[in-house]
Amino acid sequence: MTVTNFWKYTWRLYYAVLDLFLPPTCVGCEKVDMWLCDACATKLPLLTSQPICARCGKPWKGPGVCLMCQQAPLQVAPIRSAFLFGDQIQTAIHALKYRAGVTVIPPLARRMAEAWQAYEMHTDLLTPVPLYPPREIRRSYNQSALLAQALGANIGVPSREVLLRVRNTASQTKLKREQRQRNVKEAFMCMPNADVAGKCVTLIDDVATTGATLEACSIALLSQGARMVSAFTLARAA
């Protein structure tokens, strides 16, 4: 057994024991043994019904683009998200990232596909924001890669991993915008066989906050000749 397989097995065993004593419950109706049932997934309100910044996609009631995008627009654009981060979506994402709740992927990917179509988005390729390898080994998967694969299957767009996270970064959770940008600067690079030249590429991630991580990824893609880089995330922080 390789070291990678050993850690995957260990963490799966840990999650299995955890589920035995703290079983999953649906974030909507609290039905036991699942993190999100299909019925509750269909009731989650999409962000598509709310006014947003035309560029970064955050909630914005003014015309056109938000003040931040007027002052310092990101190269990655547009950024769009299926849901507003909070309540049930926040709990579902927490389950996905920290409780091996991969069963939330299929129902959430179907709703993401609804939002994708409502936004009338188009791209040549979906690619996930990568995790730092040791972190992915501990989790045994990259949640963004699973979302990209499931979304791609729903909308008929190819999904492929073309980015590497080449250095570890601190958690972005408690950092301000400028700190986030410094934290992820030059943290990503394209794989040697990325083959993104001339293509429109859409980054897939679980949550967009300031866009710093998405911007760092887009810089790597644009440096390899990508024609345009947009982003589509499961949720958007207000």
Strand partners, 230: 202
Residue 33: predicted pLDDT: 87
Q: Which ranges of 48-201 does DSSP label H, i.e. alpha helix?
A: 67-71, 87-98, 105-119, 133-139, 143-155, 177-184
Could you give the count of Cα atoms lying within 13 Å of 98 in the half-sphere of its Cβ?
5
DSSP for 22-68, please give it: S--B-TTT--BT-S--HHHHHHSPPGGGS-B-TTT--B--SSSS-HH
Q: How far apart, in whole angstroms, are the C-alpha atoms of residue 118 and residue 229?
A: 19
CB 54 within 8 Å of CB 65: yes
Query: What's the average pLDDT block by block, 10 residues per block, for the chain (238 residues)?
Result: 58 60 88 93 96 96 92 95 95 92 96 98 97 85 97 98 85 65 79 95 96 94 97 96
Backbone angles phi, psi at 177, to 5 degrees: -55, -50
Residues 6+ apart with CB under 8 A from 152: 126, 158, 159
Residue 186: predicted pLDDT: 75
Residue 213: predicted pLDDT: 93
Instruction: Return the number of other C-beta atoms located less than 10 Å from residue 137's C-beta.
Output: 17
Instruction: Return the number of other C-beta atoms located less than 10 Å from residue 134's C-beta.
Output: 11
Its pTM stands at 0.90
Residue 46: predicted pLDDT: 97
CATH annotation of 45-236: 3.40.50
